[in-house]
Amino acid sequence: MADFMLQLLLTFDATLRLATPLILCAMAGIFSERSGIVDISLEGKLLSGAFVAAAVTALTGSPWIGLMAAICASVFMSLIHGFACITHRGDQVVSGLAINILASGLTIIIGIALFKKGGQTPALSSDERFRGIEWFGVNLMDNIPIIGTIYRQLISGHSLLVYMALLAVPLCAFILYRTRYGLRLRAVGEKPESVDSAGVSVAWLRYRALIIGGIFCGIAGAYLSISHGANFVREMSAGKGYIALAAVIFGNWRPIKAFYACLLFGFLDAATSRLQGVDIPLIGEIPIQLMLAIPYIVTVLLLAGFIGRPTPPAAIGVPYEK
Amino acid sequence: MSETMNKTSGANAARYALELQGVSKSFGLVRANRNIDLKIESGTIHGIIGENGAGKSTLMNILFGMHRADSGKMFANGEQVNVRNSADAIAHGIGMVHQHFMLVNRFSVLENVMLGSEGGSLLKQGKQATIARLKELGDTYGMVVDPHALISDLNVGMRQRVEILKALKGGARILILDEPTGVLTPQETEQLFEILRVLRADGVTVLLITHKLAEIMEITDNVSIMRAGKMVGHRATAETSPQELAELMVGRKVLLNVDKDAPQTNNVLLDVQGLGAMSSRGHRILDDVSFQVKGGEILGIAGVSGNGQTPLMEILTGMRIPDRGHVEILGETISHDAPKTPKQLREIGVGHIPEDRHVHGLVLDFEAQENMILGYHDGALSGDGRLMDRAGIRAHCETQMEKYDVRPRDPMLPAANFSGGNQQKIVIAREMYSNPKVLIVGQPTRGVDVGAIEFIHKQLIALRDAGCAIVVVSVELDEVMGLSDRIMVMNDGKNIGIVDADKTDTNMLGLMMAGIEQEAVA
Amino acid sequence: MNVTPPLPKWADLILLPLINLFAAFFVCGLIVLAIGENPFTALNVMIKGAFFYPESLGYTLYYTTNFIFTGLAVATAFHALMFNIGGEGQAYIGGLGAAVVALLFGPNLPMLIVLPLCILSSAAFGALWALIPGYLQAKRGSHIVITTIMFNFLASSLMVWLLAGPLMQQGQQSPQTVLFADAAQLPQMREVLGYFGFELANSPWNLSFFIALIALVVFYILIWKTRLGYEIRAVGKNQEAARYAGINVAKIIIIAMAISGAFAGLMATNEVLGVHNRVILNFTAGYGFTGIAVALMGRNHPIGIFLASLLFGALYQGGAELDFEFTSITREMVVLIQGMIILFSGALAYMFNPSLARLIARISAPKEATDG
């Protein structure tokens, strides 16, 4: 029983680690989509963030500089997206796709040019990464049964970036629902005319939303390569940006709900690796591909209105013209 | 600084709250406003009347900074102002209630009213103040709204109040209302007018844009009339009449002499009984309309646009499903339970020249020859083989272009590159080619030059004489009177009455268009 | 409001795309420069690699074949104003279609029956995989872009499961099917042309190239010569006018998506029936996404699509050559170029439009310009 308990805790622990990049990207997606801009470029921003974080950290030895550089790179990608779809009113999907492909190509090309390791970055030492932080009194708490284990395994011991992701959720909710900027942001994605007729610039609001999204994706990327992992490998984002987008939809474009969706998708991911090859009584072996496909399946079912009706921002995808 | 200025201007109380001098605005080749002069006296309700497309909305958008005028001057309270965007307009005390509300449906009343003037970077800071101000405004002007209600839960009348409150909360002393009653019930309209009277009593200047004569007569102090982008007259409301306004609005063109003989009618081909329709927002837009049209006659439908003509045409051509009543057309029935598709109706011989050729009548990016078969593309016109007979289509287009004098005579040219009149001729050529037994025509000559107008009218008369039952919807009163054998007047989705064309005059029709029923002469 | 004069047709169809293409290459050149290599040398290597070695043309045309199929898939949907990002998944499932027939009938039936069945089956499977998102868009309003993205991942999951499970070769550990019987293998161009006396260097160029050429013609006829194509274009250009014309808009959207998927599925004839002769993991290798760049560049016209496919075929083959000639730039350069092309020819397609239009207006009316 205690063993099962520990297994469960370890799974939850892994859930949190796997959900971290999803959470950050989902928050980024919420900002840009709430402003009315379709953001399939989460994937590309995540990937460029991951690469730049690992590359800069490898070159400077400082994960903090790496993190900053990742944020800059990801914001830069956001600005390209904005330039194409806000300034030039280009197709938001095409632009997002271009960014994903650019990120895919650039990370490998620059990686090879810099490190000559076939697109990987050099492995980072443990000082060069954001590692788990052991919380105060872990050893003391160990004496308390159950709670001690929970404290050690689940609450303590994550990297700073995981805690940042967890903080990002209430922060996003606060910005979105409690601030002037959030009010205008929600309005601009629903009805840009309402903002324009109130004398507020639609373009500048949307640019800011994309920049904020870029910051989150940059942090997510850094988490992948200099916290969760110890270097960058090709196509490291592996579709996480798209899963985050699915989480945004699943969470109906709301931070807290999207956070739960990320946890769910992270849990599926964590459980999959644990269930691989395991025979479950009565059910038999669960095909892991099926579990990994669940985020996509539920998103399709959701969009088609089979399980509830998603309510995307009303003006999403439509370039604003006076 | 600005406060003292406000005080002085308040003390002097400029005679004109707003003044425009020589304002012009073009969109590409369309001259929406031409050299507009306008003076609005402070503390009055000033009406601006004109038909759809006369340029009223453009003018108001210029006043509110949503568009920038190409030329001209603007004065607010006697001082020249430069309104570059809505923020400028709001700063000059101008507020606007748009025809299509600028409200976020998923927001609460409070959030909508706060948007743009939140009173701090955190919403918390301005919330209480806004609620208090809303209550104050509500008490003063009799507009009580629950600040926490969602816009999507409010009816249209309440939403409009929110728009007005939003403008007033922003400090507006000049309030522009663009077609505010278009979506209101008569009761809601009455309530709105009550609010406007209270506002006027409080010194607010109100600018009311509408195409409804009755409203102008009821509520305004002064009225300006627009037609085709120009200001064609200013009147004190007390010194004018609906008839005069109607004439100014519609314009007394040289009466086009439509040469026609007495109609040779035969069987009833179109029989409409108790037809009704609702808008997607749940308003009744077509209300118990009944009429009959025989082969060989033209029934004109007169009325200020937006009074039910469009949904009526849509039902007759299979593009909208009625909620009540039925239509017997060439032996087929159209009703809520037996809807017909546009294709089915076209196959039994119903032609349709739509009101807006850019939205429905043409695929602008298609070549003229492709447009010449739109809707008939799966019939013999596209050849009888598995592939479309492009040479045949071109030959057909060339013949039709010749016959209807479409210029330039280039079947390969995209429809977008033809002038309005020639585009319309393409649509007319297409719909007449199949010799329809019933033809539904909307605005046959809108945006068409004079030469083409006469031509189009002759074609319609020729079709009538060939035994076709024709329904013509037009906002051009002269056109309706010239073409029709009988005229039905619509107001607020209802049939106000049907009169014989040769036993009526603009006076009578004007009153009927304003919703005043006449002793039927027919 | 800035009213720009309209662009002449030749400038819109030829000059503007070329300017966008040039802009894409220019930025890529700058990146090569930043890496510390000479962009012209790199370009030279790529051109040589794509055309001048004995086997290079065959490789170029082999890649071209893929891009024709996926480009046509994107273009067909575009004509109905549907953005089909799912070409990748549809091609993958198309491979499954080919495999099912090849594995079932390949050993027992003659080639003349098996191969056509394989080809039809790949098209049918691809069509089905696109039809579902099409249906969900037309009837239930789900956004086609998101649904097709999700269907790419679903296709991937499904294929991994099949290739590592039911379809996996017995006694093997790699996720792939057994080699198809000879009857289910498309002949190589080398063999075909060798039969007629032409000597060709070894390359994966196979008969599917002709299927691609036929597909181009079919596409042209479908879109511009048939009533269905007429209705597809009408729906894409003006849905309201299409409704007015009695066209069943939902039906046309579903059909257009199915045809789009069929073209994507046909990509399997090249990779599965022509090259690998089995289904291997990720044989689509991103070609489905390249189809988007191809369609954008080719302006959804068969000639444009053919030229753009050729360009990308040459880029892919020439890009592979970069690996041998340089240490710091590799074939991923092609991915970068592709991204830039999608950015400039797609998202920023009309960035140069106003300035170009003004320039042309000034050149064609120099007098007015100097007066004004």
* Sequence-separated (6 or more) residues with CB below 8 Å from residue C244: B317, B319, B342, B352, B354, B360, B361, B374, B375
Question: What are phi and psi for residue B170, nearest 5 degrees?
Answer: -75, 0
Cα-based angle C46, C49, C53 (whole degrees, multiple of 5): 155
Bridge partners of B174? Answer: B94, B205
Express each pLDDT in A80-94 by its tens digit. Answer: 999 999 999 999 999
Q: What is the mean predicted confidence (pLDDT) over A296-305?
A: 88
Strands B438-442 and B350-353: parallel
Residue with tokens 């990720």: C282
Cα-based angle A265, A270, A272 (whole degrees, multiple of 5): 95
Which of C136, C289, C332 lies closest to A109 in CB terms? C332
Instruction: Sort out which chain A residues have CB atoms less than 8 A from B111's CB and list them.
Output: 183, 187
The answer to whether residue B64 neighbours chain A at the CB level (below 8 Å) is yes
Q: Give the other-Cβ count within 10 Å of A273's Cβ.
A: 12
pLDDT of residue C369: 37
Which of A101, A239, A300 lies closest to C289 in CB terms? A101
**Which of B147-156, B367-376, C95-104, C112-121 shows the lowest mean pLDDT across its residues?**
B147-156
- What separation in angstroms does the CA of A272 have from each of A269, A286, A293, B225? 5, 9, 11, 73
Q: Are C243 and C100 in contact (CB under 8 A)?
A: no
pLDDT of residue B23: 93
- What separation in angstroms does the CA of C292 have from each of A80, B221, C61, C183, C351? 19, 61, 18, 33, 19
pLDDT of residue C169: 78
Cis peptide before C187 (omega within 30 of 0): no
Instruction: Sort out which chain A residues have CB atoms less than 8 A from C144's CB and list them.
Output: none
At B148, is the secondary structure helix, strand, or coil?
coil
Contact yes or no for A101 and C151 at CB 8 A: no
The answer to whether residue C1 neighbours chain B at the CB level (below 8 Å) is yes
The amino acid at residue B79 is E
Instruction: Sort out which chain B residues have CB atoms less than 8 A from A311's CB and list them.
Output: 106
Q: Are B181 and B175 in contact (CB under 8 A)?
A: no
Q: What is the mean predicted confidence (pLDDT) over A265-292?
A: 79
Would you place residue A1 in the very low, low, confident or very high pLDDT band (cuts 50, 70, 90)? low
* Sequence-separated (6 or more) residues with CB below 8 Å from residue B70: B24, B25, B26
DSSP B73-111: EEEETTEE----SHHHHHHTTEEEE-SS----TTSBHHH
Chains that contact B by 3+ CB pairs under 8 Å? A, C
The highest-confidence range among B19-28, B420-429, C210-219, by mean pLDDT, is C210-219
Q: What is the mean predicted confidence (pLDDT) over A259-278?
A: 86
Cα–Cα distance, B418 to B20 (Å, whole number)? 35
Would you place residue B519 in the very low, low, confident or very high pLDDT band (cuts 50, 70, 90)? low
Express each pLDDT in A157-199 by its tens digit. Answer: 889 999 999 999 999 999 999 999 999 999 999 999 999 999 8
Contact yes or no for C292 and A38 at CB 8 A: no
Q: Are C97 and C125 in contact (CB under 8 A)?
A: yes
CA distance B87 to chain A (A): 4
pLDDT of residue B342: 94
A279: which DSSP letter?
E
CA distance B213 to chain C (A): 32
CA distance C360 to chain A (A): 21
Q: Give the other-Cβ count within 10 Å of B338's Cβ.
A: 11
Q: What is the mean predicted confidence (pLDDT) over B42-56?
A: 86
Contact yes or no for C140 and A304 at CB 8 A: yes
pLDDT of residue C359: 85
pLDDT exceeds cutoff 80 at B30: no
Delimiting residues of CATH 3.40.50.300 domain(s) in chain B: 253-361+436-522
Q: What is the mean predicted confidence (pLDDT) over B60-69?
A: 89
Instruction: Sort out which chain C residues have CB atoms less than 8 A from B374's CB and list them.
Output: 234, 241, 244-245
Q: Give the other-Cβ count within 10 Å of B282's Cβ.
A: 8
Q: What is the mean predicted confidence (pLDDT) over B317-339?
A: 94
Contact yes or no for B374 and C245 at CB 8 A: yes
Instruction: Sort out which chain C residues have CB atoms less than 8 A from B344's CB and list them.
Output: 246
Which of B342, B346, B362 lies closest to C243 in CB terms? B342
Instruction: Sort out which chain B residues have CB atoms less than 8 A from A198's CB and list them.
Output: 86-87, 90, 102, 115-117
Express each pLDDT in C283-326 by its tens digit. Answer: 999 999 999 999 999 999 999 999 999 999 999 999 988 888 88
Nearest chain B residue to A179 by CA distance is B122
- What separation in angstroms does the CA of A255 have from each of A171, A260, A261, B512? 9, 9, 10, 57
Q: Are B39 and B17 in contact (CB under 8 A)?
A: no
Would you place residue B9 in the very low, low, confident or very high pLDDT band (cuts 50, 70, 90)? very low
The answer to whether residue C238 neighbours chain B at the CB level (below 8 Å) is yes
* Domain boundaries, position A163: 7-303
Which of B103, B107, B120 lies closest to A180 in CB terms? B120
Would you place residue C365 in the very low, low, confident or very high pLDDT band (cuts 50, 70, 90)? low
- What separation in angstroms does the CA of A74 have from each of A169, A210, A220, A242? 19, 10, 10, 16
Name the residue among A212, A124, A209, A130 with its Cα closest to residue A163: A130
DSSP B256-309: -----PPP---SEEEEEEEEEEE-TTS-EEEEEEEEEEETT-EEEEES-TTSSH
The answer to whether residue B412 neighbours chain A at the CB level (below 8 Å) is no
Across chain C, the runs of DSSP E, i.e. the strands, are none
Higher pLDDT, B94 or B9: B94
Name the residue among C91, C71, C83 with its Cα closest to residue C301: C71
pLDDT exceeds cutoff 80 at B2: no
DSSP A248-268: HHHTTT-HHHHHHHHHHHHHH
The answer to whether residue B111 neighbours chain A at the CB level (below 8 Å) is yes
pLDDT of residue B257: 63
The amino acid at residue B343 is K
The answer to whether residue C141 neighbours chain A at the CB level (below 8 Å) is yes
Instruction: Sort out which chain A residues have CB atoms less than 8 A from B116's CB and list them.
Output: 184, 195, 198-200
pLDDT more than 70, % of chain C:
96
Domain ranges of chain C: 38-352
Nearest chain B residue to A312 by CA distance is B106
pLDDT of residue B304: 76
Q: Are C163 and C102 in contact (CB under 8 A)?
A: no
Q: Give the other-Cβ count within 10 Å of B155's Cβ.
A: 13
The answer to whether residue A217 neighbours chain C at the CB level (below 8 Å) is no
- What separation in angstroms does the CA of A43 have from each of A25, A210, B396, B477? 8, 14, 53, 60
Architecture of the C38-352 domain: Orthogonal Bundle (1.10)
In a domain, A116, yes or no: yes
CA distance C126 to chain B (A): 25
Cα–Cα distance, B443 to A8 (Å, whole number)? 72
* Sequence-separated (6 or more) residues with CB below 8 Å from residue B3: none
Cα-based angle A262, A263, A264 (whole degrees, multiple of 5): 90
Contact yes or no for A109 and C339 at CB 8 A: no
CA distance C175 to chain A (A): 13
Q: Are A73 and C182 in contact (CB under 8 A)?
A: no
pLDDT of residue A282: 67
Instruction: Sort out which chain C residues have CB atoms less than 8 A from B343's CB and list them.
Output: 246-247
pLDDT exceeds cutoff 90 at B516: no
pLDDT exceeds cutoff 60 at C197: yes
Bridge partners of A159? Answer: A132
Contact yes or no for B382 and C234 at CB 8 A: no
Burial class (CB in 10 A: 0-12, 13-18, 19+), A245: buried
Mean pLDDT of chain C: 90
pLDDT exceeds cutoff 80 at B258: no
Mean pLDDT of chain B: 87
Would you place residue C214 in the very low, low, confident or very high pLDDT band (cuts 50, 70, 90)? very high
Cα–Cα distance, C335 to C316 (Å, whole number)? 9
Q: Are B117 and B169 in contact (CB under 8 A)?
A: yes
Contact yes or no for B363 and C234 at CB 8 A: yes
Express each pLDDT in B220-241 by its tens digit. Answer: 999 999 988 899 999 999 999 8
Which of A101, A106, A119 lies closest to C342 in CB terms? A101
Q: Are B342 and C243 in contact (CB under 8 A)?
A: yes
Biggest CA–CA distance in chain B, Å, is 82
The answer to whether residue A154 neighbours chain C at the CB level (below 8 Å) is no
Express each pLDDT in B142-185 by its tens digit. Answer: 888 999 999 988 888 889 999 999 999 888 999 999 988 876 76
B122: which DSSP letter?
B
Q: Which tokens belong to C130?
A: 């696109």
**Which of B33-47, B55-69, C55-69, C349-363 shows the lowest mean pLDDT across its residues?**
C349-363
Express each pLDDT in C244-278 by its tens digit. Answer: 999 999 999 999 999 999 999 999 999 999 999 99
DSSP B324-339: EEEEEETTEEEESSS-
End-to-end CA distance of chain B: 68
Q: Are B231 and B46 in contact (CB under 8 A)?
A: no
Would you place residue C371 in the very low, low, confident or very high pLDDT band (cuts 50, 70, 90)? very low
Q: What is the mean predicted confidence (pLDDT) over A142-156?
A: 78
Nearest chain A residue to C354 by CA distance is A88
pLDDT of residue C134: 97
Nearest chain C residue to B29 by CA distance is C3
Burial class (CB in 10 A: 0-12, 13-18, 19+), B58: buried
Q: What is the mean predicted confidence (pLDDT) over A24-52?
A: 96
Residues 241-280 (A) with a CB less than 8 A from some CB of C:
242, 245-246, 249
pLDDT exceeds cutoff 90 at A98: yes
At B121, is the secondary structure helix, strand, or coil?
coil
pLDDT of residue A144: 80
Torsion sign, CA atoms B144, B148, B151, B152: negative
Burial class (CB in 10 A: 0-12, 13-18, 19+), C178: middle
The answer to whether residue C233 neighbours chain B at the CB level (below 8 Å) is yes
Question: Which listed CATH number (3.90.180.10, 3.40.50.300, 3.90.45.10, 3.40.250.10) goes with B253-361+436-522?
Answer: 3.40.50.300
The answer to whether residue B178 neighbours chain A at the CB level (below 8 Å) is no
pLDDT of residue B6: 42
Bridge partners of B352? Answer: B440
Q: What is the mean predicted confidence (pLDDT) over C87-95?
A: 97
Contact yes or no for B116 and A200 at CB 8 A: yes
Torsion sign, CA atoms A261, A266, A269, A273: negative
Cα–Cα distance, B300 to B488 (Å, whole number)? 6
Name the residue among C82, C101, C194 with its Cα closest to residue C145: C82
Instruction: Sort out which chain A residues have CB atoms less than 8 A from B67's CB and list them.
Output: 322
Contact yes or no for C242 and B363 at CB 8 A: yes
In a domain, A308, yes or no: no
pLDDT of residue C351: 87
ipTM of the complex in this document: 0.90
pLDDT exceeds cutoff 60 at B59: yes
Contact yes or no for B360 and C230 at CB 8 A: no
Contact yes or no for A178 and B112 at CB 8 A: no
B236: which DSSP letter?
E
CATH number of the domain enclosing A111: 1.10.3470
The answer to whether residue A284 neighbours chain C at the CB level (below 8 Å) is no
pLDDT of residue C372: 32
pLDDT exceeds cutoff 50 at B10: no
Would you place residue C370 in the very low, low, confident or very high pLDDT band (cuts 50, 70, 90)? very low
pLDDT of residue A30: 97
Instruction: Sort out which chain C residues have CB atoms less than 8 A from A98's CB and list them.
Output: 339-340, 342-343, 346-347
Rg (CA), chain C: 22
Q: Which tokens belong to A36?
A: 């009315």
pLDDT exceeds cutoff 90 at C367: no
- What separation in angstroms does the CA of B185 have from each of B180, B223, B285? 11, 23, 11
Contact yes or no for C234 and B28 at CB 8 A: no
Q: What is the mean predicted confidence (pLDDT) over B172-200?
A: 86
Residues 318-337 (C) with a CB less than 8 A from some CB of A:
327-330, 332-337
The amino acid at residue B96 is M
